[in-house]
Structure 1
């Protein structure tokens, strides 16, 4: 995006986040996020619906359009205008453009208006069904949380794709003032044809709200700390993996998808490189029910067609895509999970390269992903650094089997402090089932690329490191050039192309630092002997100054009556 668009997004992010955060009061971020993200979703579907309505209204009045409604067919202007209003309520017009149908009670302008109605005021749509005693509950009907949940109910009922996806907010017991404040915050922003500093921006409402959704996910993950990392993978890592795999077309699968970050970044990558989002299909699975809903909402906001299974489920024990063979598999599963094993997993066909240890799921995730990888597919997996060298509980034997099967294509060591939820050092495993020449890639049989990226990135604040675009590009370009055999050469301290024999010499340890070596010192033209003489003289002078300072301190202490 250009500078103006970036400035617009930065200002919008801070404005909306600060407004939402001020209203949070003492509520835990883990609960508050469902309220805020649910409202963002309501805002999105309503905006998309309004956008389609405006387009239809113009087409109904355009005499060159197939949708044209001739004025002369009606006896009066009132009848003509009513006919247009009736036509605008035909849901087929919206479904044909993959726009969610939004019932009257879920449209944002109505929600905003009704939220501030006084108790006892009639709502301009059918009242809800009475309770089991045949009575209505006016106080419940007038609560803003009830209005929002009623809107979510209506949207789910009208759109089968969203059934069971939207999280209700009444259970969080948020006051009316807080909810009205959030509604006003999101209302006080133009997501259609935005103008920034007098310049019309070429940004779609879908893109803006998708960006806001992703930004809020990241901020809530930061606020929740370790818990937040369960659903949010830092964008820099997701971007790096997507840039390395280049998922232009085919099936993309993530068995530990969290809020769906890999799918979002894949869509952005495809669009930025001139591809078609419709050329890929996404499949995911997630154990946590609320996170599963966050991911589905994330896809719906962006108009990405998805298959996340019939329900949230454990990828090991309740595989929602048993027959899937994906072209790209990407995942950031929880590191070093201990409580994952079940007796049902004994002799599982997924354990082709050895049964994973019952006390660590790392190689269980890896082999689950390999099982779902197509014969010509590629995959990337984030794991803790221990996976590259551990020899306990069969892990070393599994790693040896993977290398001997020539599945490992590239290993990337990452810098620390990239994650919001853990300080455990991490790495990326890139594997493929086919290293033969294909497309613009050369044959890489028997070769593995090692990249040590631990020195890349910058500290974005006191605790978190991030990659620059140049960092991401450097790693991705190195990998692609190596695959193509063009403009690649080993760089001491950064990358090294190893053979299987090299790896065998290191006893199948895959830590990049063992292979890339140390960075070469720059040659400044000064002979070593001369440089050592100068450095020794400099050190001697520093020792002399240190001794003088020590004597001065002792003298001062003695003057104060203290003997050293």
Structure 2
């Protein structure tokens, strides 16, 4: 995987962007900052291609060589020349040079809205992605010109692909920071990086169709593309129900050079990919949804393996994911812990069906505080159709791998944890070994265990890893029990003496105050 450009100025950028504070609500920052980054990206990509075309039409050895200046200019300004290379054509009034030169003008907000409009007119694929909202906002012209100044810095200049990479990473950084400042609301459009990384590392997407029916800002697609060793070997399909979130996601994946088919709509009630069978389904759905519209699901809906309940959409999401797997596909997704043990009849029936038919591959219990939207711990479910040994995997349809990772992760802020790269690799490797070679799986008490389906049934179909992995073994330091006990007794007596001494000192101090 190629090395990514280093960014050592993120915090300065974010601090500068939040100078909008007071003019608009923090939850709305992203709707102004992120489109500006995208505008800068489109302009950079266009300028790079334009420079390349300029060299081509002046090169006598190229197929596009043109000796006269008029023909050269016509070719350079031909939008088809850009579309052929998947580069969006940027009209003069939307180019960053125009935006930068007019940043101090009193009508800069109007200029920006017009630039967004012209980009959509020239590129129908961008329709609805670039909202014209600057004029109608409370942002001052100073706020807007300050943002333009930020993204006019040299590091963002269109000298080479490095600037495009930096813009993509800056966009991702801003998404995570905006999500963090929004707390619960931020969790609606952003899945923490380490959680996405764990899902992707466990699924190992290398080639084929990838579906995310709750795709948010597109992080699952970006990390999947980064994971595969073959460029463009994965085909991405996503659905998002919230228009503003879908807009952010489309911009994000384009910034990373990914051409995904992203559609709007409610995946459970209006599946936009009804006929798609994917190699990988990866998602962080909005779990524990109540009153989600179960009455609109027909009893003969082909996705159903059981019934549904309007009190909770968790198991409808599971049935939706499973229905989209091809004959050797795997689904990995985030789920509320309650889904592992729920006794609600409609949900338990579905869980029993997945266990009885050998489709549950792995359950991972995650530590608390990983998510912005909730402080409670959640888990990962993996459902697979290759457990009978298809597509190079070993036969394991009578087994389920349980991993208890609740003790993993460390605080990266006062209220949020993250998994380290080493922890992600450790968890993923256990799953990989389980899928390919059971002899390589090291069952670790308190961490990992392969259980049979009969064991799971004996435990009333409960899928909580802690039931199966047991308690972590304490390391024996070689000290005889008698010696340990005597040492503890001595230490306790010393602590009693110290406690008595401190009590006497406190009494004397209190007497001195009377």
**TM-score using structure 2 length:** 0.95
After superposition, the Cα gap between the structure-2 partners of 1:96 and 1:203, relative to the gap in structure 1 and judged at 3 Å, is closer
Residues 328 and 391 in structure 2, CA contact (< 8 A), matched pair in contact too: no
Q: Secondary structure at the match of 2:334?
A: strand
Match of 1:329 in 2: 281
After superposition, the Cα gap between the structure-2 partners of 1:86 and 1:24, relative to the gap in structure 1 and judged at 3 Å, is farther
Cα deviation per residue 1:74-111 (whole Å; 9 max; x = unaligned)?
Answer: 4xxxxx3x443332101121111110111111111012
Cα distance, 1:2 vs structure 2: 9.7
- Relative to structure 2, which stretch is displaced further, 12-21 or 496-505? 12-21
Match of 1:255 in 2: 213
Matched, 1:85 2:73: yes
The equivalences for 1:263-282 within 5 A come to: 263-270=221-228, 274-276=229-231, 278-282=232-236
Structure 1 gaps, min length 5: 75-79, 118-141, 195-201
Q: CA RMSD in A?
A: 1.9
Cα deviation per residue 1:408-455 (whole Å; 9 max; x = unaligned)?
Answer: 000000011111121121000011022122454211121100011111
Match of 2:151 among 162, 180, 186: 186
- Relative to structure 2, which stretch is displaced further, 444-453 or 158-167? 158-167
Cα distance, 1:281 vs structure 2: 1.2
* Counterpart-to-counterpart distance in 2, 1:298 and 1:226: 21
Cα distance, 1:41 vs structure 2: 0.6
After superposition, the Cα gap between the structure-2 partners of 1:208 and 1:382, relative to the gap in structure 1 and judged at 3 Å, is same
Cα deviation per residue 1:12-33 (whole Å; 9 max; x = unaligned)?
Answer: 3123212211243342122121
* Counterpart-to-counterpart distance in 2, 1:544 and 1:174: 67
- Relative to structure 2, which stretch is displaced further, 204-213 or 361-370? 204-213
- Relative to structure 2, which stretch is displaced further, 296-305 or 253-262? 296-305
Matched, 1:286 2:240: yes
Match of 2:204 in 1: 246
Matched, 1:541 2:494: yes
Match of 1:466 in 2: 418
Residues 353 and 367 in structure 1, CA contact (< 8 A), matched pair in contact too: yes
Cα distance, 1:203 vs structure 2: 5.8
Match of 1:232 in 2: 190
Match of 1:54 among 51, 75, 86: 51
Match of 1:205 in 2: 163
* Counterpart-to-counterpart distance in 2, 1:98 and 1:230: 30
The equivalences for 1:139-178 within 5 A come to: 143-169=107-133, 170-178=135-143
Matched, 1:110 2:98: yes
The equivalences for 1:63-142 within 5 A come to: 63-70=60-67, 74=68, 80=69, 82-117=70-105
Cα distance, 1:348 vs structure 2: 4.5
Residues 257 and 286 in structure 1, CA contact (< 8 A), matched pair in contact too: yes
Cα distance, 1:395 vs structure 2: 2.0
The equivalences for 1:422-501 within 5 A come to: 422-485=374-437, 486-501=439-454
After superposition, the Cα gap between the structure-2 partners of 1:251 and 1:480, relative to the gap in structure 1 and judged at 3 Å, is same
Whose Rg is larger?
A: 1
Cα distance, 1:360 vs structure 2: 0.7
* Counterpart-to-counterpart distance in 1, 2:300 and 2:417: 39
Residues 192 and 204 in structure 1, CA contact (< 8 A), matched pair in contact too: no
Q: Secondary structure at the match of 1:460?
A: strand
Structure 2 gaps, min length 5: none
Residues 285 and 315 in structure 1, CA contact (< 8 A), matched pair in contact too: yes
Matched, 1:510 2:510: no
Size of the alignment, in residue pairs?
A: 512
